[in-house]
Amino acid sequence: MELKALGTSSVKVTPIAFGAWAIGGWMWGGAEGQAAIKAIKTSLDAGITTIDTAPIYGFGKSEELVGQALQGIPRDRYQILTKYGMNWRSNKGEYFFDSIDNSGKPTKIYKYAGRDSVLQECEDSLRRLKTDYIDLLQIHWPDATTPIGETMEAVAKLIEQGKVRAAGVCNYSVAQVEEALKTVKLASNQVPYSMIHRAIEKDVVPQAIANKMSIIPYSPLQRGLLTGKIKRDHKFNAGDTREGNRFYKPENIDRTNAFLQKIKPVADGYGVSLAQLVINWTTRQPAMDCVLVGARDDKQVQENVKSLSFKLSDDEIKTIRIHAEELMLVD
């Protein structure tokens, strides 16, 4: 598997990464631990050696499963991307939303990235991941209660200590990235992006290109919608936050499926699924050096890997974009 550098850092990643949000179970209606561990091992065996996780995914569960799955595997054979800045242990920071923890207890989530908290979160992640360094450490969401410079100084210290190889951000605006760059060199900005959700092309992507940063797009399948398997009468499991989401409104499901039928001949021509076509197309977009693709089990991993088995032509990429730009979703 050909590796790509994240920005100008020494961290090299695979074109797609194992997105470990779903295996934490949180906001996805549950997940099975052993299946998740097997999925991670299958990913590595298939050459997808980059894994993206976060403490908040299952309140530590995702990181713990990743750590268990990687035991006994030489550390230089994989890359761990994790995050910080989501606080569920106290009321420090900027209130984000209400949730339910692993014990079923209601809990409030805050965005908090104070200096001491960043340092402690890194130690907690290292413990759960059973490793002594993190390849890319990213702030999960902007924290309005803490100066960006303070947060980035903490990350710079972790890099100096050898506990972190490179710094990244998630969900940062152009202005926030500019502020962070005053303190630390950023390798990447992880932001939502899909064929039907391309707002970052206006300013975030051009900024990344200008500053030699990578974009790490998440939800390229729009949380499953772009697989073509979701119909307007789809039933979600309890706790699955896709229900009620704008993209999952019945009329938007119908419109998206109509769009998918327009590009399906391209997928059929390569003998691949719509999901594999969508992932492949996303890897070919400017600055998108590592596309996050989630999986709960080894079968889903194997399907994801097939998305790299073919190469779209420039004309096919252009045709797909034209159809995507014609799609109008309702709010």
Within 13 Å and on the Cβ side, how many CA atoms surround 305?
A: 18
Active site residue 172: no
**Integer Cα distance of 139 and 120 in angstroms:** 14
Token couple for 163: 């506990």
Closest alpha carbon to 13 in 83, 82, 78: 78
Per DSSP, 64 falls in state H
Per DSSP, 259 falls in state H
Give the count of beta carbons closer than 10 Å to the beta carbon of residue 105: 8
Element (H, E) at 66: helix 61-70
First to last CA, the chain: 40
Please report how the helices 314-326 and 250-270 are oriented relative to each other, as an axis angle in degrees rounded to 10: 170
**Integer Cα distance of 92 and 187 in angstroms:** 28
The beta-strand segments (E) located in 29-185 are: 50-52, 79-84, 86-87, 94-100, 106-111, 134-139, 164-170
**Integer Cα distance of 293 and 193 in angstroms:** 12
* String of DSSP letters for 111-122: E---HHHHHHHH
Which candidate in 57, 84, 110, 193 is catalytic? 57
Please report, as a single letter, which amino acid is at residue 157.
Answer: K
Angle at CA of residue 245, ends 240 and 250, nearest 5°: 105
Catalytic residues: 57
